[in-house]
Amino acid sequence: MYSIYASDIVQLLTKSGTLLQRLKLVSTDEPIWEESLLLETIKSFCPNITYLNLSNIEFSTQFFEVIDNLQKLQFLTLRDIFEILEDEPEILVIQFAKNIAVDIAVS
């Protein structure tokens, strides 16, 4: 069983995030601990990511903001998405799909 603790990698992402183009964070059977901190760090310090692979992450408004902020993102892989804790999860998923469709159409 592998767990990801955001506090363990935030400093690395902060210092070298602008050089980062590919990021794969796979946590088996466990959620990503301190997920909010990880997402905020990726959003703030990793603008050049073109390939993002995440597992055991929660669909949330913050997650969608990160994806929207990654202007160079070309490949997104998601596995084992946790339940959505928002009031209206269907709306978030539909908006996410629309954003992806718009990005694809523009490209």
Say which residue, 46 or 83, is predicted with more confidence.
46
* Residue 65 within a domain: yes
Distance of alpha carbon 103 from the chain centroid? 16
* Residue 1 within a domain: no
Per-residue pLDDT averaged across 80-95, rounded? 64
- 3-12, 60-69, 74-83, 87-96: which has the minimum mean pLDDT? 87-96
DSSP 33: B
DSSP 18: G
* Residue 55 within a domain: yes
- 33-37, 85-89, 91-95: which has the minimum mean pLDDT? 85-89
Q: CA angle, corner 60, sides to 58 and 66, nearest 5?
A: 100
Enclosing domain of residue 92: 6-106
Query: For 2, phi and psi rounded to 5 degrees?
Result: -120, 135
* Residue 95 within a domain: yes
Between CA 93 and CA 81 the distance in angstroms is 12
What's the domain count of the chain?
A: 1
- List pLDDT tens digits, range 3-40: 788 888 999 999 999 999 999 988 777 778 888 999 99
DSSP-derived 3-state class of residue 51: strand
* Residue 31 within a domain: yes
